[in-house]
Amino acid sequence: MATAASALLRRAPFALAAAVPAGLAGCNWLGSESGDGHKFRIDAVDVLPITHLKDQGFTSAGLSNQKSFGYAKFISDDDCVLGDVILKKTTDPVRARAYMRAGPRETLHFDPKDTRAAIVTCGGLCPGLNTVVKNLVEILGTRYGVEKVYGIRGGYRGFTAVGWDAPLELDAAAVGDVHREGGTVLGTSRGGFDAEKIVDWLKAKRVNQLYVVGGDGTHRGAYKLAELCWEKGVNIAVAGVPKTIDNDIGIIDRSFGFMTAVSEATRAIEAARTEASCNMPNGIGVVKLMGRSAGFLAAYATLASQDVDLCLVPEVPIVLDGPSGLLPHLERVVDQKGHAVVVVAEGAGEEVLGASAEVDAGGNRKLPPIGTWLKDRITAHFKSLDREATIKYIDPSYMVRSVSADASDSYLCMLLAHAAAHGAMAGYTGFTVGLANNRTVMIPIPELAKASPRSLNATGRTWERVVAVTNQPCNTARCDVQQMTSDKAVQAATGGDA
């Protein structure tokens, strides 16, 4: 390791080759070389391009950005951020993926004094929604000086539903304190997407920038709007800000609000531990957390709390009985400690409960009641052993998502809002923003949608840590999990899992 590290420090970082076509950059970086000829190497970097409105035939204002951000370093379109920083020794050619770096550009596509923006929040609540709205309004209105910023009420429905289609007019005074509150000042809803009507609304209000805050489904809709604007010859930039309480959006390091939700979830776990340890005999606390198809919230809350004895997630099958079953495991924990704490993600247990055919207005499949089912199974199991047990069930699902963002997430919300505004003012469209290896980047929406929703890697490091911390049986973690066929399959399904 020391040899590899010293080699990486000595050698110059990769250089983008100027003669390479757009979207593809050659790299002349070789790291440590071992005796068998294997190298740490990157032979080429594929930079995912973002559509620019001028590429669709729209005339750019071509204004200098010196007035608004002349004090700062402008970001060049040649700047990129590597998507995967983990390398393996290989003799095969290696192509790395990279994303365009976000930040203020030197030239503006839109003239601020003729620019009207609209902001819409869609889907479920998440800590930090108001902080994103606040920072979008302030950077657009105060720093760039755009003519007007609209707030769309109630998600996509707010563009078309009668009684909802009167937007709020937002300025710095209107959003000054909204970051202190949970939820979204604009309101939200699921469904109601009608691309034709939305574009007609944008044209009627002379809006030329649309900021969409939502999950992967919301982003798919946003990209349809961007495409329709191109087809209709409407000079509108569409920018996304990814949002999900489940942290299951691909490519990005994490979603805003996720770590706040983890912190709130640990409070529920602490309450469950208190109830379980004080209610004798054999107290067991069961906490159900959000996590429709991904167990990130349950896993991270488990690791953060250090009080959980069993964590159940959608990616790992539930094994109830037998030497490695969860019920005998809880027996052993109770015998040793006198109590136990269980965390279960809402999407876990489909293999024992079955899948529901019902869907909500947003197209999400309704989930069976895993929390109460698990509580009943634990109760029945201890009763079958002629042992008394006190089961306390806590469901803080809506509590963890309806609070305001903590300091870390507030900072992330600011970064993302600024990144979206800079990209749109420069004339980019059909993109979203996020952290990639702790750097703000612009991501083509189709790439984000393709990688979402992602899942927790059931053979990865995070789940390994969960098993180590809870000491739950291996059969309820790795051994019964169907192994993916290659590292590439794992990477595609999980977006990486360090």
At residue 41, the pLDDT reads: 80
Interior angle at CA 343, CA 397 and CA 465, nearest 5: 120
From the list 201, 137, 133, the residue with the least C-alpha distance to 172 is 137
For residues 414-434, average pLDDT = 98
Determine which helix (DSSP H) or strand (DSSP E) holds 130, and give its type and residue range: helix 129-138
List C-alpha distances in Å: 329 to 70, 113, 209, 319, 320.
62, 65, 55, 11, 9
- Give the best-scoring range by mean pLDDT among 67-76, 293-302, 452-461: 293-302
pTM: 0.87
67-81, 332-346, 350-364: least confident range: 350-364
Please, are residues 495 and 451 in contact by the beta-carbon 8 Å criterion? Answer: yes
Conformational region of residue 282, where left means phi above 0, alpha means psi within -120 to 50, and beta covers everything else:
left
25-29, 84-88, 193-197, 210-214: least confident range: 25-29
Tens digit of each residue's pLDDT (9 = 90 or more) over 223-277: 999 999 999 999 999 999 999 999 999 999 999 999 999 999 999 999 999 999 9
d(CA 457, CA 461): 8
At residue 40, the pLDDT reads: 76
For residues 357-380, average pLDDT = 78
Residue 17's pLDDT band (boundaries 50, 70, 90)? very low
Cite the active site residues. 246
Tens digit of each residue's pLDDT (9 = 90 or more) over 431-485: 999 999 999 999 999 999 999 999 999 989 999 999 999 999 875 544 444 443 3
Pairing mode, if any, of strands 310-312 and 209-214?
Answer: unpaired
pLDDT at 375 over 70: yes
Residues 6+ apart with CB under 8 A from 22: 49
Q: Which residues, listed in sequence order, are joined to residue 96 by a DSSP beta bridge?
A: 45
Determine which helix (DSSP H) or strand (DSSP E) holds 75, and give its type and residue range: none
Q: Residue 247 carries which side chain, given as an amino acid letter?
A: N
Tens digit of each residue's pLDDT (9 = 90 or more) over 155-167: 999 998 877 778 9
Tens digit of each residue's pLDDT (9 = 90 or more) over 89-104: 877 888 899 999 999 9
